Structure 1
């Protein structure tokens, strides 16, 4: 992890919320934002253990992390999250929609309606619900940064992952559309489409799938969460993110070259 004295951007005075922030890419982003002097809150779904461990690790460095349970696919829980965030931090300047689920690859004929709905619910509906909740306040205040975490599979697809790819493709389109509404008010909406990164979502796949995927990468290895977080810092910062509008950046080890 890059340390604060070497960071190219400061988030001092900014309030940030990272959904799905208890582990993986979300935890790396929350940690880097705290290093950049932001006041940071995260939400998670049924992951108190990792959320508490992350908060304890940051506390050892003199940083505070606020955490709350939230299923981002549920409107009532997102409303409660917003109330909690307002009481805990105040106005949210930076929102990172990182909450997401994956799953083992399945032919479409084996995908149940319940599995499809849950994948779309967390990975796409959740981005909508959380963004809809915090976006108007950013517009009213004339400042905001929203960073949506998609996937490089939104561009290339993958066999057996129709629900996941559909959801992440939707995130890319949602990011572009919302950026038109935000840009006139200095609310910059952008995305990140990571390549395969060593997180629990990646290792839900079979060994054969993992070997196949690694062999496709020019770098010959999977990424680390800490290698994705700096892109989020760029887009979330006042100066670094000022001229990015509706873009989805792709730190992906060369898996997709656009």
Structure 2
């Protein structure tokens, strides 16, 4: 097993992608620290215990945007397992769908807090131990929106773009100390949240995706597992698209005019203002 004896911390572990990442790493022998702000993380831990009996898990509830909570979570993980070998920053938030001019300070701050400050908090907390041991794997789950933007989700797009910059800097500063830091950029992935999208938006998005289907959480987990493995030791500072080829077309949801018309159809609203 590739991760026998390794310890991986996965944030957003109670969600679809986070849960899939945890299952994949556990199936390959990793012990798991499962971090989420919601109590769904307990369900993930119970499921892992049944599916992978030899794997130890530690479920923790914490808000990644809070530096004190993340610091305490990492300390608890180290106290339990002795070290954190792999960090997967998966927790993410889309708090606002609105024109930039209508975004409130609190909404902007919350998205930046979870999507960018959160990964920074955790990276900062695990780096000393990884550097001391001369080995570490960090994977940041960004988004296709980091490159192409996402209509009326400026906070989300900006925070995910910032996460790419953070990924590069970790590589520049710590690659010589045996630490890799890479980003995965999912396109449209089949999760419960995506399943709730209006049909008109789903149909249009699929038309802009060469694969003509959404990705699966297991496809994201497979890429993450590779990046956490020994085989990926020379992959560093990379931005890996897992998007069915949508980056070759337009942005994830296309032009503002097209998306606005689709939103109007889906919601029953006409005109150019939300």
TM-score normalised according to structure 1 size: 0.91
Moved more, 15-24 or 58-67: 58-67
Q: Flag the 1:257–1:65 CA change in 2: closer, same or farther, 3 A.
A: farther
Deviations 1:150-189 (A, max 9, x none): 0011111122111000000001111011101111011011
Give 2:120's aligned residue.
128
Q: Distance in 1 between matches of 2:106 and 2:16?
A: 25
| 2:65 paired residue number | 73
Q: How does 1:1-258 map to 2 (within 5 A)?
A: 10-46=2-38, 48=39, 50-61=40-51, 62=53, 63-103=55-95, 105-203=97-195, 205-238=197-230, 240-257=231-248
Residue deviations 1:188-218 (CA, integer Å, cap 9, x gap): 1111001111224435654433332222111
The structure with the largest alpha-carbon Rg is 2
SS in structure 2 opposite 1:256? Answer: helix
Q: Is the 8 A contact 1:149 1:193 kept in 2?
A: yes
* Alpha-carbon spacing, 1:59–1:236, altered in 2? closer, same or farther (3 Å): same
Deviation of 1:22 after TM superposition, in Å, equals 1.2
- Cα deviation for residue 149 of structure 1 reads 0.5
Task: Please give the alpha-carbon distance, in whole angstroms, between the structure 2 residues aligned to 1:253 and 1:225.
Answer: 13
What is the RMSD of the two structures over their aligned residues, measured on CA atoms? 1.7
Alpha-carbon distance between aligned partners in 1 of 2:159 and 2:216, rounded to the nearest angstrom? 22
Q: Distance in 2 between the 1:26 and 1:160 partners?
A: 25
Question: What 5-or-longer segments of structure 1 have no aligned partner?
Answer: 1-8
Could you list the runs of 5+ residues in structure 2 that have no partner in the other structure?
250-274
After the TM superposition, which segments of 4 or more aligned residues of structure 1 sit over 6 Å from their partners? none
For 2:169 and 2:10, how far apart are their aligned partners in 1?
A: 21
2:134 and 2:179 in contact (8 A); partners too: yes
Secondary structure at 2:186 match in 1: coil
- With the length of structure 2 as denominator, give the TM-score of the two structures: 0.86
Whether the 8 Å CA contact 2:96–2:155 is kept in 1: the answer is: no
CA distance in 1, matches of 2:162, 2:192: 22
